[in-house]
Structure 1
Amino acid sequence: MKKLVLTGAAGRLGSYLREPLSTMCEQFVSSDLADAVPNMAANETYVKADITDLDAMVALLEGADMVVHFGAIGDEAPMEELWGPNFYGAYTIWEAAYRNKLRRVVYASSIHAVGMHKKTDFIGIDAAHKPDTFYGLAKCFAEDLASLYWDKRGLEAVCMRILSCAQVSNSRAVGSWLSYDDLIHLVERAISTPITGFSVVYGVSNNDRAPVDNAKAQHLGYHPKDNAEQFAEEIYATDGPLDPRDPANTHHGGPFAAVDLGNSGVAYLNLNTDDTAKT
């Protein structure tokens, strides 16, 4: 691959992807709103750019083969805040990719696109959209945009519905954990699979209690290795009995399924951030 672009490169997950993605291409371009990113690879160029600026995205993706799109607000927020980066920003990426004749968009979607489904339903990649928040609604919009651009314009997309990519620090994560190694493996497969068309895949590790089914995404060759069961006994003992009537415990979206629209869901996740970002 000659040129690969990563948006959201200064974010928590984007920072983990920069190094491995730089090895997959001749020219690696990372982008975000930060003034700079540390520890750049020899073939990496950083471009400060706003994903709500279509002209800037067209320029950013010029000459690229693919774009890995992680740039967005990563939490529930009022619609007025999400509209630009999460909704319109998705459009600018797909439109810029189309104008530059890219082959594929690899997109950081989320379990929150289907967050109001119950965890006991064990949903597959063909589950109907059922967002839990405005944030989840933005993921639904981007997935439908990806489907539209594939059907009408032949632009491939892999939409990765990431569950919980952080340390296992709560009962929900025993099932929903996506380790950083498995995240990297997932993104690499989304890039290297020869033909994807429009594909959806759940970003989850090989957890004994994983509440989603990737059986219909086998063409991507994603085979996660890590398992959160090693943390289960300690986590369950710490959390104690869970309320079976609380949507945060019973639905895929976790706290996002319980908060009022516009209010942070991340604030209730009890995330351990000791190793969730590289500096």
Structure 2
Amino acid sequence: MKLVLTGAAGRLGSYLREPLAAMCDTLVSTDIAEDIGTLYDGETYVQADLADMAQIAPVLEGADMVIHFGAIVDEKPFEELLGPNFVGSYNIWEAGYKAGVKRIVYASSIHAVGMYPKSECIGIDVPHRPDTFYGLAKCFTEDLGRMYWEKRQLESVHLRILSCAQVSNTRALGSWLSYDDLIQLVTRAIDTPSVGFAVIYGVSNNDRAPVDNAKAAFLGYRPKDNAEQFAQTVLAEAGPVDVTDPGQMCHGGPFSSVDLGQSGMAQLNIVDDRKET
């Protein structure tokens, strides 16, 4: 089996490379970065720009599946996101279809539905409600994936990741996805025999998880980790809740309150703990 991983130089990509290399004959990792460090057995690296079909199409030749994690991972002006996040997704699906790829596993996001209030435990079938241009790109790609399945029978699994980073705020007590659970989630999206078009929330087994994966149970994802282990420390350091702030009251967190085009990540203090090779 040949797998292609986009966004291999990113933080989440750094944790996926080793397990993906171990489960296939050939792993082709790709990103816009010049290199990604020491390669694992069976892994090769190709520098390519997602927004350039001429660069990305050859990377997908002969691939069985694509794990598409490449994108700008923050809110930006629409013009900056258009190439990597919108056109890039089209290029992956169109090149994948032409190359005979069976399935695409896509790093979608809670920001596709980020404007729902956290008081609503939302399922995988709620209508899109993006909080940013970044979230809009996730909606676009989910709809793209559904269309390519229904029109061209190209399977896809869309992982609506909530927050895959160290637990440092009260929102993360519900939204946390551990790296181990991320690996399990991607593995289930690859090894489930038939998926058609599927959406599943990327979240660990948190007591306070604000989303419902019941309708995606067929994928076999059973998370192990629970953010409650961090609750005492996080809650002791937390300030009072502002119930008028969408950033505290909506699923999208700070992305729900920032102006369009303005960074949401800047308010999250994400620790860059990427896995080094």
TM-score (normalised: structure 1): 0.98
Gaps of 5+ in 1: none
Query: How far is 1:238 from its partner?
Result: 0.5
- After superposition, where does 1:177-188 map in structure 2 within 5 Å? 177-188=176-187
Match of 2:102 in 1: 103
Match of 1:40 in 2: 39
Match of 1:5 in 2: 4
Cα-to-partner distance string for 1:113-157 (whole Å, 9 max, x where unaligned)? 000001111000001100000000000000000000000000000
Match of 1:54 in 2: 53
Query: Does structure 2 conserve the Cα–Cα contact (< 8 Å) formed by 1:28 and 1:43?
Result: yes
Match of 1:147 in 2: 146
Matched, 1:112 2:115: no
Q: Count residues with an aligned counterpart.
A: 277
Gaps of 5+ in 2: none
Query: How far is 1:38 from its partner?
Result: 1.2
Which of structure 1's runs of 4+ aligned residues deviate more than 3 A? 276-279
Match of 1:228 in 2: 227
Residue 119 of structure 1 aligns to a residue whose secondary structure is coil
Match of 1:241 in 2: 240
Residue 27 of structure 2 aligns to a residue whose secondary structure is strand
Residue 19 of structure 2 aligns to a residue whose secondary structure is helix
Instruction: Report the identity percentage.
Output: 66
Cα-to-partner distance string for 1:43-81 (whole Å, 9 max, x where unaligned)? 111000011111222210000000000010000000010
Query: Does structure 2 conserve the Cα–Cα contact (< 8 Å) formed by 1:166 and 1:276?
Result: no
Matched, 1:17 2:19: no
- After superposition, where does 1:72-83 map in structure 2 within 5 Å? 72-83=71-82
In structure 1, what residue type is equivalent to 2:36?
V
Match of 1:165 in 2: 164
TM-score (normalised: structure 2): 0.98
Instruction: Give me the whole-angstrom Cα distance separating, in 1, the residues matched to 2:73 and 2:31.
Output: 13
Query: How far is 1:276 from its partner?
Result: 4.1
In structure 1, what residue type is equivalent to 2:125?
D
Query: Does structure 2 conserve the Cα–Cα contact (< 8 Å) formed by 1:199 and 1:217?
Result: yes
Query: Does structure 1 conserve the Cα–Cα contact (< 8 Å) formed by 2:14 and 2:274?
Result: no
Residue 175 of structure 1 aligns to a residue whose secondary structure is helix
Instruction: Give me the whole-angstrom Cα distance separating, in 1, the residues matched to 2:145 and 2:271.
Output: 32
Residue 119 of structure 2 aligns to a residue whose secondary structure is helix
Instruction: Give me the whole-angstrom Cα distance separating, in 2, the residues matched to 1:230 and 1:159.
Output: 28
Match of 1:212 in 2: 211
Instruction: Give me the whole-angstrom Cα distance separating, in 1, the residues matched to 2:34 and 2:54.
Output: 19
Instruction: Give me the whole-angstrom Cα distance separating, in 2, the residues matched to 1:94 and 1:19.
Output: 24
In structure 2, what residue type is equivalent to 1:159?
H
**Larger deviation: 151-160 or 37-46?**
37-46
- After superposition, where does 1:253-272 map in structure 2 within 5 Å? 253-272=252-271
Match of 1:175 in 2: 174
In structure 2, what residue type is equivalent to 1:253?
G
After superposition, the Cα gap between the structure-2 partners of 1:197 and 1:114, relative to the gap in structure 1 and judged at 3 Å, is: same
Query: How far is 1:224 from its partner?
Result: 0.3
Query: How far is 1:277 from its partner?
Result: 4.5
Instruction: Give me the whole-angstrom Cα distance separating, in 2, the residues matched to 1:138 and 1:253.
Output: 14
Query: Does structure 2 conserve the Cα–Cα contact (< 8 Å) formed by 1:169 and 1:272?
Result: no
Query: Does structure 1 conserve the Cα–Cα contact (< 8 Å) formed by 2:10 and 2:274?
Result: no
Residue 121 of structure 1 aligns to a residue whose secondary structure is coil
Instruction: Give me the whole-angstrom Cα distance separating, in 2, the residues matched to 1:70 and 1:176.
Output: 19
Instruction: Give me the whole-angstrom Cα distance separating, in 1, the residues matched to 2:33 and 2:271.
Output: 23
Query: How far is 1:171 from its partner?
Result: 0.7
Match of 1:63 in 2: 62
Instruction: Give me the whole-angstrom Cα distance separating, in 2, the residues matched to 1:6 and 1:270.
Output: 26
Instruction: Give me the whole-angstrom Cα distance separating, in 2, the residues matched to 1:6 and 1:174.
Output: 29
